[in-house]
A and B are shown apart, each in its own frame.
Chain A
């Protein structure tokens, strides 16, 4: 089983709203990731959590706030987003952190900021 689930599938929010994206995996993976994908572009890494601790922040604006409540869950809290933040947000997980690990992706949350 290599399933990563994400909720919601779609989200529309205004620039003053606060919302959260959720990601869950039950594979016992110890590394979890957030990626952002714009249309016709490849995914770009935002954050890496390693053993429930934030290990990489790819210079993401503070209006994106990740949280890892436990080893199975990963949240992305959104506040005061801009229209250019509209994108597909992908969560992924891997058995361990590190370079030679396969990352398994969830279906993504399609976000539209108005």
Chain B
């Protein structure tokens, strides 16, 4: 049962254009969402997060949008740069069984390639 899904295994974008990565979730108890960037053989690097009480959060070139009714979030990168090429993971956490705990559930990841 995949509770967090990233349906696009890969995305290719031209440098300077917008990259849009998408993520869907099924568990309505999730209330905190994060995006991580990962290079091969390295740990995930935290990019940006959003709480369920918000619908948008910005940090520099990165913006995350949350649509709770659709159980969908997206990460926008503007402008995209070749150094952004990596695997991007969406992750979610929330209350389960009446207890809040720090388990992150990850999506399968999307490979972003930004071409010069």
Contacts and interface: CB of A to CB of B under 8 A. Distances in A.
Contacts of A94: 102
B41 A45 contact: no
Interface of A: 2, 4, 6, 31, 33, 41-45, 48, 50, 55-56, 58, 88, 90, 92, 94, 97-108, 110
Nearest to B42: A107
Majority secondary structure of chain B interface residues (helix, strand, loop or mixed): strand
B62 to A, nearest CB: 14
B103 A90 contact: no
Contacts of B32: 99-101
A88 B93 CA distance: 22
Complex A-B, nearest 4 residue pairs according to Cβ-Cβ distance, in ascending order: A42-B106, A105-B43, A100-B32, A99-B100
Interface string B84-116: 000001000111000011111011110000000
B43 A45 contact: no
Contacts, number: 72
Interface residues of B, number: 25
Contacts of A2: 46
Given A42-B108, A98-B102, A107 B43 contact: yes
Given A92-B43, A99-B101, 13 more contacts: A42-B89, A42-B107, A45-B103, A90-B43, A97-B102, A98-B100, A99-B93, A99-B94, A104-B46, A105-B36, A105-B43, A107-B42, A110-B41
Contact of A41 (B49, B95, B108): B108
